[in-house]
Structure 1
Amino acid sequence: MATEEKTEGSSSSPELSKKFPFMFLEKITNCFSQIFCKDPFGTVYKGTLPDSNKKIAVKKLEQSEEIPRDDFENQVQSIVGLKHENIVELVGFCNETHQNSTERLLCYGFAPDENLQQHLFGTEETEDSSSTEPSNNWNTCFKIIKGICQGLLFLHKQLDNNPITHMDLNLKNIWLDKTMVPRIANVELSRIFSHEQITKESCGYMAPEYINDTRNAMSFQTDIYSLGVMIIQITTGEKSRGKMEDRASRSYIDKIRRKWTAEHIASKYSSLDSECLHQVHACIKTGLECAD
């Protein structure tokens, strides 16, 4: 394929091409050996561009056989190069068929240090802990909340002709760099996978009306509900278990509404000044309103 030959022969920089050969992505990820994270839609690997040593991330999609080839390329190309400080930029993709299997991968121009789930509650090995102490570093927590909101506003309101509903906002899909700037990842999921596929896999953040009736069209309100659950977790430091019997986290939200009174906030955040306490109150109130 001409596009792929040009990519291999010209440079390893992803900015020069939107389409990458499978062998190139396999090489820069060291045969897909360094896993950053996994989700129901694929595994994200860390990679290094050989010429510049720039760190990037590559996602190898699962269920790729269910995605029509032309649909995949058209939908992905529509958002390649989408730029915002709080969005993970998709710089390219791979769409190759080898014998009886199809390889579909997404290439991002950013390799995170950790995701928000790991930052708040530890790795999968240690995240049995159900709470953390955001009061220890409230300024960072507030910075992360504001960044997520700015990124979501960009997707919903600032793409004039092609707004994006994320459909799978959760802590694992918020990537952090060394300076704690949050970036929303997997913004292309709603373009690649069906509403039914995403609803089936989402747990803990999906608005109840979409879980109970998949005929409902996905809307911005779906993302706002998920945003509310995230804001509550970041602010309180209490994790939503998101079990299959409570995929909308309704019992978690009800518990927060009862527990996090003004008196409880003052007790938990006794070290904060009045301005920061006001921010905490506002974040919990906003999170609960988003999840109403």
Structure 2
Amino acid sequence: MDTASSSKPETSLLLNSLPKELPAEFLKDITDGFSPKRQLGRGAFGTVYRGTLTDGTEIAVKKIGSGSLVTPDKQFQNEVGNLMAVRHDNIVKLVGYCYEMKKTVVEHNGKYIIADTVDSLLCYEYMRMGSLENHIFAPSTLDWATRFKIIKGICQDFGLSRLFGAEQTRMHTLNVVGAHGYMAPEYLYRGEISTQLDIYSLGLLIIEITTGERNPRSKDDMSARNLVENVRQSWTIEHIVSKYSSLDANSLQQLKVCIEIGLQCVETDRKKRPPIEHIVNKLDGRLWDKQ
């Protein structure tokens, strides 16, 4: 996830004039053949590279991992269209994409055959401040006011919860794919998808930003239960007051609320997780007097 900035770099005229559907060869060229030296990060669904246009403008090129699901062309383009339509200060702008079918010779059961493969890539504005995780963990210069602003910004426009709204019929998948350490237990073990799925991931992110403690993202702890239990036991009001003795009463209340929200979001029982509207209201202070 990229940090939002009040002074985003200006988008170049070349970037604005680029066709939205970009050739795979073009994206390969501007990333030096997807060179490891240009790698910005790696996630469950692909690897991100820094691409440089002819006028020096940089963009982030996400190459969808070969192990991820291949989305049909029409569905992929519809999803890209939705992403391009999004305009929000806390969401990195999608500026282009690539979806190219090609024939490739592969080995199958001891024989070489010609198979259809797909190059799927997404292109985003390049954020010079880098990933959020570059700033929130110790040693960090972020004060509490900045951390709280980041948390509120993330929650004001968030994922599946905003798209689905109220609870709907659950879905299931046999293809469990996601970032290590951020998967809700019901998704990890049962392939269950619902509106509370990304609330779990949001809760872990809130916990990380609030405490400055890193989710280890271990294959042995895909739901980060060790981090959750550590925060549940250690981050008491006494610990908060002791660690942040310089904060005023209002800031301490904000911090306490963020810990509470984070822990509610990562409840093992998905039905106990709060809806995004409740989280936003609580962060705005509208529910504090009801505690």
Question: Normalising by the residue count of structure 2, what TM-score does the alignment of the two structures yield?
Answer: 0.70
Aligned to 1:30: 32
Label 1:105 to 1:254 Cα distance change in 2 as closer, same or farther (>3 A): same
Superposition pairs of residues 175-254 of structure 1, within 5 angstroms:
195-197=173-175, 199-214=176-191, 216=192, 218-254=193-229
Q: Shift of the alpha carbon at 1:77?
A: 3.2
Contact residue 47 and residue 58 of structure 1 kept, 8 A: yes
| 1:57 maps to 2:73 | no
Structure 1 gap ranges (5+): 1-10, 122-131, 158-162, 166-193
| Counterpart residue identity of residue 158, structure 2 | L
Contact residue 18 and residue 80 of structure 1 kept, 8 A: no
Label 1:31 to 1:260 Cα distance change in 2 as closer, same or farther (>3 A): same
Structure 2 gap ranges (5+): 1-12, 105-116, 166-171, 268-291
Give, in whole Å, the separation in 1 of the partners of 2:140 and 2:212: 6
Contact residue 232 and residue 287 of structure 1 kept, 8 A: yes
Aligned to 2:110: none
| Counterpart residue identity of residue 90, structure 1 | L
Task: Return the match for 2:158 from 149, 152, 155.
Answer: 152
Label 1:135 to 1:266 Cα distance change in 2 as closer, same or farther (>3 A): farther
Across the aligned residues of Structure 1 and Structure 2, the Cα RMSD in angstroms comes to: 2.7
**Structure holding more helix per residue:** 1
Contact residue 79 and residue 90 of structure 1 kept, 8 A: yes
Contact residue 204 and residue 240 of structure 1 kept, 8 A: yes
Aligned to 1:115: 131
1:79-136, CA deviations, whole angstroms, 9 ceiling, x for partnerless residues?
A: 3332211112222211123441432211113334321223234xxxxxxxxxx26686
Give, in whole Å, the separation in 1 of the partners of 2:52 and 2:41: 16
1:135-189, CA deviations, whole angstroms, 9 ceiling, x for partnerless residues?
A: 8622221121111112317x643xxxxx279xxxxxxxxxxxxxxxxxxxxxxxx
| 1:72 maps to 2:76 | yes
| 1:258 maps to 2:262 | no
Q: Percent identity?
A: 42
| Counterpart residue identity of residue 61, structure 1 | I
Give, in whole Å, the separation in 2 of the partners of 1:257 and 1:66: 36
Q: Which 4+ stretches in 1 moved above 4 angstroms?
A: 133-136
Aligned residues: 234
Aligned to 1:138: 144
Give, in whole Å, the separation in 1 of the partners of 2:182 and 2:231: 15
Contact residue 135 and residue 141 of structure 2 kept, 8 A: no
Aligned to 2:244: 269
Aligned to 1:127: none
| Counterpart residue identity of residue 19, structure 2 | S
Question: Normalising by the residue count of structure 1, what TM-score does the alignment of the two structures yield?
Answer: 0.70
Label 1:242 to 1:81 Cα distance change in 2 as closer, same or farther (>3 A): same
Contact residue 135 and residue 142 of structure 2 kept, 8 A: no
Q: Shift of the alpha carbon at 1:201?
A: 3.6
Contact residue 60 and residue 125 of structure 2 kept, 8 A: yes
Give, in whole Å, the separation in 1 of the partners of 2:129 and 2:142: 20
Contact residue 96 and residue 103 of structure 1 kept, 8 A: yes
